Amino acid sequence: TIEVPDDHPRSESLHTRHRIEDGVDAGLTHKQGLIAEGRGEAFDYLLGERTIPSADRAERAAAAHLLRADHPVLSINGNAAALVPDEIVALADATGAAIEVNLFNRTDERIAAIADHLQDHGATDVKGRTADARIPGLTSERAKVAADGIHAADVVLVPLEDGDRAEALGAMGKTEIVVDLNPLSRSPQVAAVPVVDNLVRAIPNIAAHAHDLADRSDDERERAIDAFDREAALDAAEAAIRSGELD
Ligand code: PTJ
Express each pLDDT in 169-214 by its tens digit. Answer: 999 999 999 999 999 999 999 999 999 999 999 999 999 999 999 9
Alpha carbon nearest to ligand 1 atom 31, residue: 40
The CA 66 to ligand 1 mean position distance, Å, reads 22
Taking CA 81 as the corner, what is the angle to CA 77 and CA 85, rounded to the nearest 5 degrees? 140
The CA 124 to ligand 1 mean position distance, Å, reads 26
Q: Tell me the pTM.
A: 0.95
Residue 225 lies in a domain: yes
| Residue 228 Cβ < 6 Å to ligand 1 | no
Helix (H, G, I), strand (E, B) or coil at 141: helix
Residue 209 lies in a domain: yes
DSSP-H helix ranges across the chain: 11-25, 32-46, 53-68, 78-83, 85-95, 108-120, 163-171, 186-190, 199-214, 218-226, 230-243
| Residue 140 Cβ < 6 Å to ligand 1 | no
Residue 160 has a pLDDT of 85
Beta bridge partners of 193: 177
Distance separating alpha carbons of residues 101 and 144, to the nearest angstrom: 10
111, 128 Cβ separation under 8 angstroms: yes
Residue 244 has a pLDDT of 72
Distance separating alpha carbons of residues 161 and 179, to the nearest angstrom: 8
> Which residues, at least 6 apart from 165, have a Cβ–Cβ distance to it below 8 Å?
135, 138, 140, 142, 143, 158, 187
Residue 180 has a pLDDT of 97
Q: Any idea what DSSP says for residue 37? A: H
Distance separating alpha carbons of residues 60 and 63, to the nearest angstrom: 5
Distance separating alpha carbons of residues 131 and 195, to the nearest angstrom: 27
Distance separating alpha carbons of residues 186 and 182, to the nearest angstrom: 9
Residue 75 has a pLDDT of 97
Residue 25 lies in a domain: no
pLDDT in tens, 82-131: 999 999 999 999 999 999 999 999 999 999 999 999 999 999 999 999 89
Q: Give the range of the structural domain holding residue 78, as residue numbers without chain letter.
A: 53-242
| Residue 128 Cβ < 6 Å to ligand 1 | no
Alpha carbon nearest to ligand 1 atom 21, residue: 160
Q: Mutation test of ligand 1: which of 160, 161, 190, 241 has the most ligand atoms closer than 8 Å to its C-beta?
A: 160
Residue 231 has a pLDDT of 98
Beta bridge partners of 76: 101
Average pLDDT over the chain, rounded to an integer: 94
Residue 83 lies in a domain: yes
Distance separating alpha carbons of residues 165 and 145, to the nearest angstrom: 12
Residue 67 has a pLDDT of 98
Residue 7 lies in a domain: no
Tell me the average pLDDT across 147-157: 97
Q: What percent of the chain has pLDDT over 70?
A: 97
Residue 172 has a pLDDT of 94
Looking at per-residue pLDDT, the higher value among 31 and 160 belongs to 31
Residue 37 lies in a domain: no
Residue 162 has a pLDDT of 73
pLDDT grade for 7, boundaries at 50, 70 and 90: confident
Q: Looking at residue 178, which CATH number applies to its domain?
A: 3.40.50.12640
| Residue 181 Cβ < 6 Å to ligand 1 | yes
The CA 181 to ligand 1 mean position distance, Å, reads 9
Neighbours of 67 (CB within 10 A): 22
Distance separating alpha carbons of residues 24 and 114, to the nearest angstrom: 11
| Residue 78 Cβ < 6 Å to ligand 1 | yes
pLDDT grade for 10, boundaries at 50, 70 and 90: confident
Residue 85 lies in a domain: yes
11, 195 Cβ separation under 8 angstroms: no
| Residue 36 Cβ < 6 Å to ligand 1 | yes
Residue 45 has a pLDDT of 94
54, 237 Cβ separation under 8 angstroms: yes
126, 81 Cβ separation under 8 angstroms: no
Domain count, the chain: 1
Q: Is the pLDDT of residue 247 over 60?
A: no
Residue 46 lies in a domain: no
Beta bridge partners of 127: 100
| Residue 43 Cβ < 6 Å to ligand 1 | yes
Helix (H, G, I), strand (E, B) or coil at 106: coil
